[in-house]
Amino acid sequence: MSRYRSGRRLEWKARAELRAQGFCVSRSAGSKGSVDLFAWNAREMRLIQIGAKTRAEIAALKRTPVPPGAQLEWWRRIKKSKKIKKAAWQIAVLKKGLTCPTHSPTS
pLDDT of the residue at 7: 77
pLDDT tens digits for range 46-91: 999 988 678 888 888 888 888 888 999 888 888 766 655 566 778 8
pLDDT tens digits for range 3-15: 777 778 888 889 9
Does the pLDDT at position 26 exceed 70? yes
Total-model pTM: 0.76
Encode burial over 84-97: b for 16+ CB neighbours within 10 A, e otherwise. eeeeeeeeeebbee
Instruction: Return the CATH number of the domain spanning residue range 3-96.
Output: 3.40.1350.10
